[in-house]
Structure 1
Amino acid sequence: MSPVLNLWKRTTGLPLVGESVGKRLFSLGFAQKAPYFATIRPRFVEVRPNYAELVIPKRRGVHNHIGTVHAIALCNGLEAVMGALAEVTIPKDKRWIPKGMEVAYTAKATSDITCTAETTQEQWETADGDLLVAVKGVRDDGTVVIDGTIRLWVTPKK
């Protein structure tokens, strides 16, 4: 089991603190691994192979000049959720690194934003080079505010 998936299961399964506190502990720990992620204060909702979900809270620290969640904060959320997915999904004999991101900003981010990343197991098993991870961010009312793909470079471990 990957260290990230192990941390998810350990923190969300703590009997004395409850699942929601465990998710907060995981979110804090994950953001420490790549400290830039802490700027959006991600709150992970679900982490499992081929799927991850987090929430970016709408707060002043991520606002742009019009009071909505800034586009780069949205991209940061997408990269964080993709990273969690990649860490818990990639086969043990492979490694990954982000290679690029293509996104479309489709609506104003006027609420908390739920970011998701999805792949299939077949993508990981057959990956030899580029692997596309589908990512999106959704407002509380269900409106997609950012949609795109993150291109990973997946290669065998040496």
Structure 2
Amino acid sequence: MDFVRRADAKKCIKVQAKAKRLSFIAKGVGDSQQVEGEVSCDESDSEISAYQSRRNELLQNVEQVFSDAVDKYSKLSFVKERLERWKKCRLPSYQDAYISLSVPYIFSPYVRLELLKWDHLYKTMDFFDMNTARNLFEQMLVKNTHSYIVIITANTHDGFTDEA
């Protein structure tokens, strides 16, 4: 019963917010091109350009992460194929090495790098449409893939601090 009431309240709030947004657009007060979640009045042009330059610098540094590795190991698909081949050809060795437990930590750097490149405000791409997520769902342990995604995405937040 409580769930129904909450759902109705959420619908009501959404309708009110949409009506308010449309009234602002009709009056010419709001910008219809503004991305939801983006506040345009708080950011100056210099702040926006500083953000863009910092983001571009970060993306250039991201490209260097696997620069000291063999090219084929810089691609998740190759690593995934190697693990699949190992499991298929030498299952006892694969199990003795506890690879099924290590897979989230092996794949974590690839997921982190792709998430750094993801611009969720301006390019609407679902997480599961990303190459990394697609490769993970094709992973050899299909029954546990969802738990790997949860573990990997949880691990992407490990060690990050707010440095401001």
Normalising TM by the smaller chain, what interval? 0.3 to 0.5
Structure number with greater Rg is: 2
Larger relative helix fraction: 2
- Greater strand fraction, Structure 1 or Structure 2: 1
After TM superposition, the score normalised by the length of structure 2 is: 0.31
Q: What TM-score, normalized by structure 1, do the two folds share?
A: 0.32
